[in-house]
Structure 1
Amino acid sequence: MARGEAGTGLAVRSAAALAAVARPGDLARGIGTWTARRLAEEAAQRRLFPWLAVAFGAGILLVFAGADGPPAPAAPLVVAGLSAAAAIGLRARPASRAGALGLCAFLCGFSAAAYRIGDVAAPVLARTLVAPLAGFVEGLDEREEGARLVVRVVRLGDLPAGERPERVRVSYRKAAPLRPGDFIEAKARLLPPPEPARPGGYDFARDAYFRGIGAVGSLLGAIAVREPPAPPPLSLRVAAAIDDARNALTRRITDANGGQAGAVAAALVTGKRGLIDGPTNDSLRAAGIYHVVSISGLHMVLAAGVVFWLARALLALVPGLALFWPIKKIAAGLGMAGVTGYCVFSGWDIAAERSLIMTLIMLGAILVDRPALSLRNLALAALIALAREPEGLLGPSFQMSFAAVAGLVACARLLDGRLFAAPGAGPLGRALAWVAGTLVGTLATTLVAQVATAPFATYHFQNIQPFGVVGNALTLPLVSVVVMPAAVLGMLAYPFALDRPVWWTMGLAVRGMLDISAWIAGFDHAVVIVPAFGAGALGLLTAALLLLTLPSPRLRVLGVLPALVGVALAARAERPDLYVDREGAGAALRGADGRLASLGRPPAFGLEQWLRADGDARPRGDPSLARAERCDAVGCVATARNGWRVALVRDKRAFEADCARADIVIARATAPPGCAARLVLDRAFLAAHGATTVRFAPEGPVVTTARRPGGQPAWRPPAPPLPAPAPAPEAEEAEREP
């Protein structure tokens, strides 16, 4: 009887649920009620604050993704103030209040990005220029041959002040005795900062704009050091003095060790990576530990931790201080001062600055007796970093560093090593438990960080390091126990000229790190190249990461669905069949075998980016890349796998025949008005749209461009019309970032 009543009750409830589904209004009210309850619970647990940082970032994204020009920050700020006022009046309604605060944060992010775009506005070179350059050396990065300079421009040919870039980045091959702060004169060949080599690719022009760099290129001939026409400003003198000190310490560390161990050791301390050669960079990347040589969160945390530990240990040796003074807070304050000095000396790079903000907030929490490692502190660090530099949200450094910390904080209880605690055990048992906990904790921490950062690393770099967990597990103990403590001790001993033995000791650990990375790089499939996927898949994976880390544990299951959909979209990303250079000098076409082959003379850097985005591990010099084209003096012709004929025009005389017979015409010149090809990608089209890809779909060609039609971001000035196309520039050196 009871069983029958239970069955009847279940049937009634099921019928009621089905009826609710059949009535959309009831279903919507049910979802709204559930959402309001969950928001109230999250607010009661003080878990909604991190979502303000998410809303702030969403406002920034809208500016960069949707605005055709620099928007005004005033209007959204007014609406943000109204939203904040509404939130004050909605204290009794948690869900509505949360919505008002989220809207306020969203509009504040929009305003911050809009203000930043206008605040850093400076002239950007619009065309290739060869002219005399005069200016102050603001920064100098030594390389194996020559150096790369950042020059604050005083004169550039006959360009007026309204068209003259404030800073240019130039390289030169032959070493010259230059120092930061020198006033130099030389002939320079300058280009506009390069735009993406493919739609969705790395936009160096945008990054250069926010760094104040309006042109890139090289110095030609002799470089003369002159007396400046006027004293440099204080900001330049300070920047040059710091950079000169960094270069001096870099040379001292390399001299103490020699070879690549010295170059890597110097990069770990000063952030100067120019002396690290290509094979060493490749092996570090293959082992998944390249982040070690980039001054970022790991270095800031370890530097602050070493100073904090040393200060607390020394203070604890004095009984009076240990008993009556808050030595933990004093050590935290000294750690904050030490890590700030380290950030200034290492160049105050954008990634280092964001890591500094995060580290200062964590140490500051100790001063006010709050938990140092929490999602609220992480969100506060993100808000401060994004308010200072909203453009950082678009780069891999910000995305990967905050994703890794969010994953580690969310999994902190699983990584604290309590599983291996051995209460009541003897010394040997406790030692074994500590070793096991440390080993498993290191592996688990590395795995969590790698999983959390995988979507962003794959999106930006199109590769996966399957053995990165092994590389990090083997090298991070060396970095934590030997390298970073030696770096701190070496910098303390440097003013007394007692640092050479410290650098030598540090170099031994770095050699071990390089040996480990070279060993892992020798594994089969140490680096797996994967095809590029779109922003939609990245957005879903980002939403999944947020839902898996920010809410209470019982709500984190909500992140599973966007994670699965995002992975499916990323795995099924459709690859273009044709890549076209932004200047029309070359292209890459997919052949009948499904692989790309070059057409014409595409820039080496662009071809490398196309292959990587296609999931193709071939180097750019592979002979098989040139197998599909038939070329003569006036152009090249190739056949796509769908049978379409693609012609690349080198000389205007080829237009008549190619426009009549080819389906797609690519040209650096402007095609005649009567060109009968189905798709014409000529000079006029590419100047307006930038690098272009074409996918041959059954319904017709799908064209994607790097520039949005009609959009004119501040970092992409309109190119002036030229009477004839210039020779194809060799822009690889200008485009490649260290």
Structure 2
Amino acid sequence: MAYSTAAAPSTRIPRLQIPWPAGGGRSLRRIERWLESEREQLPLWLPVMLGLGIAIWFVSPDPRAWRTAILAATGLGLGAAAIDGRTRLARAVATGALAVAIGVALAWWHAERAAAPVLAHPAVVRFAGVVEQAEPLTARGLVRLTIRPDAGLGLPTRIRVNVDAANVGDTIAPSDRVRPSARLLPPPEAAVPGAYDYARVAWFAGIGATGRAFGPLSVSKSGSEGGAALRDRLTRHITAQLEGSAGGIAAALATGDEGAISQADAEAMRRAGLAHLLSVSGLHITAAVGATMLVVLRLLALWPWLALRVRLPLVAAMAGAAAAIGYTWLTGNQIPTIRSCVAALMVLAAMAMGRQAITLRLVAGGALVVLIGWPDALVGPSFQLSFAAIVSIVAFHEHPRIASLFAAKEDTRVRRVARELLSLLVTGLLVEAALMPIAIYHFHRAGIYGAFANIVAIPLTTFVIMPLEAFALLMDAAGLGAPFWWMTGKAMALLLWIARSVAALPGSAMALATVPASAFALCVGGGLWLALWQSSVRWLGGVPLVAGCLWMAFTPAPDILITGDGRHLAVRTRDGLAVLRDRSGDYVRNMLRETGGGQDDPMLVSDRPEAQCTRDACAIALVRGGRHWRLLATRSAYPLPWEMLRQACAHADIVVSDRRLPARCRPRWLRLDLGVLRRTGGVSIALASQRVVTVRTPEDAHPWVTPPHATPAQTIRYRDVSANPGTRRTHAASFARNPGLLGRGF
């Protein structure tokens, strides 16, 4: 039999080759050479692309948009791989596009997996359940309980209520059974555009109702002990040794419980740029791991037989890992702490393998782990602040010139200390600059002197306060901790003095109103481009970064802010913000002040010369953009004379009310009554540009916007007490007697 020696025909499918134009081919070859020079940096963009997909899910309105994003990104990735997967550009585009598609799908899946019913409407109920978490808020005289109600009550699966500490009677621990009577509300959405959206946070936490318990609380002790019980006992022990905010900060460092810190001192820490010291994060995990490794390494080195036969740094790293895990467990397994613990474990693993401990690749790996496990963390300030800080620090010190400038040299002690102080100051200024856009976007303010305050506060906390507190707790076992607690108290007093002094400086905090999300996205994109590339192309990131910062800085503050229930309103006057209702609570006033970009406590509209008010309504005259605007707002629950209200509406440009207004109330431009506000949520208005921004959009179908509802099977009913008719007539008469609300005086 004869065999043919001819080669069998190839079954390999040829790749699609695109005949690029000559100029385009040169550009593609130039990009290919650039990517080849940056090949070590390309993996750093994988978590960025995954995060981009997650962000697309959060900003896109509905499932149709989410499916479109997934299909478009997948198609782009597969198309790039099919055209020419051998080039680095095609592989980079394919990998990045598929990561974006995975990010969108991951966020969608995570939100659906967190699905739980939400309370349909406010209700007063009495129910029984098991405590999952107890957080004492000592400074406010409250205890915050997260409760899982018994089945069959028609309530959400998880409820969070505040209880007066005086009504608790005994210490509450997880697994205890309680029977509270409480007024419950659905988790509130953002009150005005740019405010804190608790409804979104509660959705991913599985919390379907919040409220306030009243009356004595019936508690049945479970008898079980766990980390939460240990944490509670440790918190009470620390606050018993140190009074006031000093004890609260000490407890926060040890257990993560910030409830004993007074609101004034917490605000001072925020204004001074030291608030990061209060939440257990990378700084505290690093201190715990470093101290554990140092102690273990020194103790084991005293045993020569062991030191000659065992790699003591590896044993110390294992002890440090155990300390990181134990500290995370003790402080309540909060997501920021878990994130810091994961990063610490990755650093220890790199050290054990003899690799460089802290690199951008390690940071990217930690970000990837967090985004896969908790995609919703991306849109929270904690994730953004922590990773922005660490990325800016590592990228800055990896630069060859910076590395050579601050590298260890054979210098005198004075020059070495000066070089280290300069490194700390420059790094602090860089971190403050990197965190400022994030702080402005989320909190509407940013500290100016934070870098200088942190130069003293961070070493004081890491090398003085935390070791002293650890020694005090250790010596308490033998009853000898009093001297260490005294020294800890003095160090805490110094830390609080720094915070209060810096916060009292003129211009300690820069306040800005709500800024556009697009401006914030430009800042983030430009910052990442600067940090993650190494060639001169990185400087192109300065263009979107500067553009985003300028956009944020020059975004005009809104002239009118209206909460979603229509009850509260803030107007920007010549002298600052003024609120509508005389009895607005501290929370509402602070929220309106922050989102409106105000520095001082808001004034009252009724005290302003440009306003005319009765007990039922206010008419406010404003001048913006060369035009006179007339605003009418109701501010009581009493009915107003129909004909007079109709005439007042006709003379107004904008009418705001927390009730449904009659159809014949027709202002010249905008009517925002209860019916409209239920569809739009809170509203901000810029009069000069006639720009109206709402919390809700009609097409928004995110699960926390349209959640499944739970209706309580039984509620506690109170007899409605009607108002005095004479009072109603008096209020109506006061409205009628003020012609300024109706006619030319308006």
TM-score, shorter chain, exceeding 0.5: yes
Conservation of the 8 A alpha-carbon contact between 1:194 and 1:203: yes
How far off is 1:515 after superposition? 2.0
The aligned counterpart of 1:8 is none
Three-state SS of the structure 2 residue aligned to 1:619 is coil
**Paired residues for 1:388-399 under 5 Å:** 388-399=373-384
For residues 632-673 of structure 1, give each alpha carbon's deviation from its aligned partner in whole angstroms, at most 9, with x where no partner exists: 244221112232211113445354233322111111122223
Contact 1:696 1:702 in 2 (8 A): yes
TM-score using structure 2 length: 0.84
Aligned positions, number: 678
Name 2:196's counterpart in structure 1: 202
Partner in structure 2 of residue 661 of structure 1: 651
Q: Which residue of 2 aligns with 1:7?
A: none
Aligned to 1:121: 115
Q: What percent of counterpart residues are identical?
A: 31
Q: Give the letter aligned to residue 676 of structure 2.
A: F
**Alpha-carbon spacing, 1:86–1:500, altered in 2? closer, same or farther (3 Å):** farther
Counterpart pick for 1:150 among 126, 145, 148: 145
- 8 Å CA contact 1:127–1:192 kept in 2: the answer is yes
Q: Does 1:282 align with 2:267?
A: yes
- Alignment pair present for 1:595 and 2:591: no
How many Å separate the matches in 2 of 1:323 and 1:78?
60
Separation in 1 of the partners of 2:375 and 2:424? 33
Letter paired with 2:386: S
**What is the aligned partner in structure 1 of residue 675 from structure 2?**
684
CA apart distance, 1:186: 2.2
Deviations 1:390-417 (A, max 9, x none): 1111111110100110011111146668
Matching residue within 650, 656, 675 for 2:665 = 675
Instruction: Name the residue aligned to 1:167.
Output: 159
Residue 42 (structure 1) aligned to one of 24, 38, 41:
38
CA displacement 1:8-43 (0-9 Å, x = unmatched): xxxxxxxxxxxxxxxx97776555443332222212
1:105 aligns with 2:85: no
State how far apart, in whole Å, the 2-side matches of 1:325 and 1:718 are: 57
1:694 aligned to which of 682, 685, 690: 685
Name the counterpart of 1:539.
521
Look up the equivalent residue of 1:150 and give its one-letter code. Answer: L
- Pair 1:363 & 2:348 matched: yes
- Paired residue type of 1:166: R
Matched, 1:308 2:281: no
* 1:267 corresponds to: 252
- Please tell me whether the aligned partners of residues 71 and 114 of structure 1 are also in contact (alpha carbons under 8 angstroms): no
Structure 1 residue 298: deviation in Å? 1.1
Could you list the runs of 5+ residues in structure 2 that have no partner in the other structure? 1-19, 712-719, 722-746
How do residues 256-655 of structure 1 correspond to structure 2 at under 5 angstroms? 256-413=241-398, 419=406, 421-423=408-410, 429=412, 431-489=413-471, 501-591=483-573, 593=574, 595-600=576-581, 604-620=586-602, 628-641=610-623, 642-649=627-634, 650=636, 651-653=638-640, 655=645
Please name the residue that 2:216 is paired with: 222
1:280 deviation in Å?
1.3
Secondary structure (helix, strand or coil) at the match of 1:411 reads helix
1:12-91 equivalences under 5 Å are 31-43=27-39, 46-68=40-62, 76=70, 83=77
Find the residue that maps to 2:640 and give its secondary structure: helix
Query: Do structure 1's residue 706 and structure 2's residue 695 form an aligned pair?
Result: yes
CA distance in 2, matches of 1:106, 1:50: 14
Deviation sequence 1:312-334 (CA, Å, 0-9, x none): 22233333433432222222221
Please give the alpha-carbon distance, in whole angstroms, between the structure 2 residues aligned to 1:707 and 1:625.
Answer: 32
Give deviations 1:596-638, integer Å, cap 9, x for gaps: 3222465542332232233221114678975543222442211
In 1, are the aligned partners of 2:445 and 2:511 still within 8 Å (CA)? yes
In 2, the alpha carbon distance for the partners of 1:246 and 1:70 equals 46
**Aligned-residue offset at 1:339:** 0.7
Residues 690-726 of structure 1: CA deviation (Å, up to 9, x unaligned)? 100111135xx32110112221321234799x9xxx9
Report the Cα distance in structure 1 between the residues aligned to 2:81 and 2:325, rounded to whole angstroms.
Answer: 36
Give SS of 2:215's match. Answer: strand
Q: Distance in 2 between matches of 1:270 and 1:73?
A: 43
Aligned-pair Cα RMSD in Å: 3.2
Q: How far did residue 114 of structure 1 move?
A: 0.9
Structure 1 length-normalised TM = 0.85
Per-residue CA shift, 1:338-365, capped at 9, x if unaligned? 1111011011112111111222111111
Q: Is the 8 A contact 2:61 2:699 kept in 1?
A: no
Give the secondary-structure state (helix, strand or coil) at the position aligned to 2:357: coil
Distance of 2:237 and 2:403 partners within structure 1? 39
**TM-superposed deviation, 1:687:** 0.7
Structure 2 distance, partners of 1:603, 1:459, is 24
1:457 Cα offset (Å): 1.1
Measure how far apart 1:494 and its partner are.
Answer: 6.3
Task: Measure, in 2, the Cα distance between the counterparts of 1:81 and 1:318.
Answer: 62
Tell me how far 1:71 sits from its aligned partner: 8.8
5+ unaligned residues in a row in structure 1: which ranges?
Answer: 1-23, 232-236, 728-738
Q: Distance in 2 between matches of 1:175 and 1:445?
A: 48
**What is the DSSP-based 3-state SS (H/G/I as helix, E as strand, rest coil) of the residue aligned with 2:146?**
strand
Cα distance in 2 between the residues matched to 1:351 and 1:137: 23
Query: Which has the higher mean CA deviation after the structures are superposed, 542-551 or 257-266?
Result: 257-266
Counterparts of 1:359 and 1:88, CA distance in 2 = 40
Counterparts in 2 of 1:702 and 1:305: CA distance versus 1, 3 Å: same
Matches of 2:547 and 2:21, distance apart in 1: 27
